[in-house]
Amino acid sequence: MLGSSRPVSAGVGNSNDQTRRHNLSTVLTTLHHGGAQTRADLTRRLGLNRSTIAALVGELVELGLAYETASTDHGSVGRPSPFVHPNERVAVIAVNPDTDAIIIGLVGLGGKVHRRIRYETEGLPSVRETVNIVRAVVDGMRGELESTYRIAGAGIAVPGLVRTGDGMVTLAPHLDWHDEPLAELLSDALGYPATAGNDANLGIIAESIYGAGRGVKDLVYVNGSPSGIGGGVLVGGVPLLGAEGYGAELGHTLVNGEGLLCHCGRTGCLETEVQLGRLLAVLGRETIDGDELDQILLSNTDPAVDAEITRQLDVLSAALANFVSMFNPERILLGGFLGSLIAAHPERLREGVQAASFSQLAGTLTLERAQLRSRLLLVGAAEIAFQSLLEDPANASL
């Protein structure tokens, strides 16, 4: 699991073989997170000599995890350094179950989303239904997977509490899941190793690598989905998970002591006041696509809808100001329907957070919308599925 953020550095190890394996991991991780780079770029970035980089790249190419192309730079002196690419055909199955649908994706090295399938469900999907649906979708792609791709595993982004280590879903209240061995069940069904994690924690990992959080060490991510509000926090570049891996349940921050009963059993949680369902009710809709929600909110002229938008933004502002006091982040990212809210009235949210925050902590704070949108949780789920391969490329089972 992504319990810590391992720095990309080369040359660590107490034997030649251990050093080689570490450096091989470092090069592959650098390509996976940073995309295609020349050998010269890798040499400069990782501090290894040219012959070592050439040997490591050669081994990754031989393993089928990377490939090289000729450089188009013909203006430099000497032979141009070839480009090294992560092999996008090395892929994982990514899954995100929610209250209204199950999203199944195929994600390659480099974060490339090859497939995204949304399977709408009637009512809450059980764990068994989720596993059966994913198995059916994957079986439908089996011919293509076997002929075109090499599958390294499966990752699941769950809207709930997931125990680190074994992927046990201890509680997903909106799905009514309790103590479900989801990772084990999916692994048995697909025949690939499977790993599960909290969706918001995986979302912040994805945004910090590929999206609006890239390069930001102190980051708060808050996501709004049909199942509620989740959160993730990076402190010094390291995910804040807590003793059991359940940290940063930001959706269950108290915002109204006399408010509505939450699925968690408490009253007045953030996700009872800032809620997609309450937006849909005033819009007269049961479900809505994220892009369509953007368009509706941006073009809205209905005073009742505008009143609900501003009410939710004001509650969200107060909650985000609390997060500023708790974590002193450099940036806060908003995903899911929260991204639609900030797009509708960006200044109201920013001014509200600034007004409610401790000024010394919020002076340099930026509020932004998450960039990966519909790809976010698939890319996040893929990241934990790729972890074993990235840690030891030479000995991974593909």
Tens of pLDDT, residues 319-336:
999 999 999 999 999 999
pLDDT of residue 16: 83
Which CATH number does 90-202+376-395 carry? 3.30.420.40
Average pLDDT, the chain: 92
In whole angstroms, what is the distance from residue 197 CA to residue 167 CA? 7
**Tens of pLDDT along 298-307?**
999 999 999 9
Query: Per residue in 193-228, pLDDT tens?
Result: 999 999 989 999 999 999 999 999 999 999 998 889
Residue 14 in this model has a pLDDT that exceeds 80: no
**Which whole number is the average pLDDT over 11-39?**
88
Lowest mean pLDDT of 66-70, 215-219, 260-264, 289-293, name the range: 289-293
Reported pTM: 0.88
CB 353 within 8 A of CB 365: yes
Residue 10 has what pLDDT?
55
- pLDDT value of position 362: 85
Numbered ranges of CATH 3.30.420.40 in the chain: 90-202+376-395, 215-370
pLDDT in tens, 218-259: 999 999 988 899 999 999 999 998 887 788 889 999 999 888
β strands within the chain, DSSP E = 37-38, 66-69, 83-86, 90-97, 101-108, 112-120, 150-158, 161-162, 169-172, 177-180, 194-198, 219-225, 228-235, 238-239, 331-336, 366-369
**Rounded average pLDDT over 344-371:** 92
Q: Is 324 helix (H, G, I), strand (E, B) or coil?
A: helix
Q: What is the mean pLDDT of residues 103-132?
A: 96
| All residues at 6 or more sequence positions from 265 whose CB lies less than 8 Å from its CB, including other chains | none
Could you tell me the fold of the domain covering 215-370?
Nucleotidyltransferase; domain 5 (3.30.420)
> Does the pLDDT value for residue 274 go beyond 90?
yes
Q: What is the mean pLDDT of residues 37-63?
A: 95
- How high is the pLDDT of residue 78? 60
Least confident range from 54-58, 73-77, 146-150, 228-232: namely 73-77
> CATH 1.10.10.10 region(s) of the chain?
16-86
Q: Which pLDDT belongs to residue 147?
A: 96
Q: What is the pLDDT at residue 172?
A: 93
The whole-angstrom separation of Cα 383 and Cα 110 is 10
Query: What is the per-residue pLDDT for 74?
Result: 56
Q: State the DSSP code for 254.
A: B
Mean pLDDT of 278-297: 90
64-109: pLDDT as tens digits: 999 999 977 655 556 778 999 999 999 999 999 999 899 999 999 9
Out of 24-28, 263-267, 332-336, which region has the weakest mean confidence (pLDDT)? 263-267
**2 pLDDT tier (thresholds 50, 70, 90):** very low
pLDDT at position 3: 43
Which strand (E) or helix (H) includes residue 319?
helix 303-327
Residue 11 confidence class, pLDDT cut points 50, 70, 90: low
Quote the pLDDT of residue 7: 45
Q: Which of 162, 156, 157, 159 is nearest to 194 (CA)?
A: 156
Cβ of 58: how many Cβ atoms within 10 Å? 12
What pLDDT is attached to residue 80?
Answer: 77
Q: Does domain 16-86 have CATH number 1.10.10.10?
A: yes
Q: 157 versus 3: which is more confidently predicted? A: 157
Whether residue 359 is predicted with pLDDT greater than 90 in this model: the reply is no
Q: β-strands 331-336, 366-369: how paired?
A: parallel
